[in-house]
Amino acid sequence: MYLETLGYHGVIEFIDEACSRSCFKVRRDEHGQEYGVIRIGSDIYPGKNVINPNASLDMMCALCHEYTHYIRWENKMELSSDIFEEIITSLQAIANCRDKLNTRQLEQLSSDALYRLMEYIRYIENPAEGDNK
């Protein structure tokens, strides 16, 4: 599996639901101990939305992104701001996975981070527009 090639040997959940989202989640076991889970949903397969780089990330890029969320959580580096966490995670995924990804995949992750930053800038310039999304 791709995640093992990245060095991840933790919990992986495969979600067999239409329109399910891949993500990184923190869970607690029966003793209250936190552990990370990478959830793999139907969105892991790239879409055709060329406007939104997040929808066009290939599977390896998406997995690198979620794996980097795990690393950031494990190292207590998560940011409280969701949008900045997503931006930094895509950028850090480039560094974490650069030897496993080709040039096009690295560009996809860069585009994802830039797209999210531009969306944030558009939102702060016109917050009322963000309410309609």
Looking at every residue in the chain, the average pLDDT score rounds to 83
pLDDT tens for 24-36 read: 888 898 999 998 8
Confidence band (pLDDT; 50, 70, 90) for 23? Answer: confident
Q: Is the Cβ–Cβ distance between 41 and 21 less than 8 Å? A: yes
**Using 50, 70 and 90 to split pLDDT, how confident is the model at 57?**
confident
- Using CA atoms, how far apart are residues 62 and 54, in angstroms rounded to an integer? 8
The whole-angstrom separation of Cα 54 and Cα 66 is: 12
pLDDT in tens, 95-130: 999 998 999 999 999 999 999 999 999 989 988 765
Determine the pLDDT at residue 39: 82
Q: What is the pLDDT of residue 104?
A: 94
Flag whether pLDDT at 68 surpasses 70.
yes
Pairwise CA distance, residues 76 & 117, whole Å: 23
pLDDT of residue 21: 76
Specify the pTM. 0.80
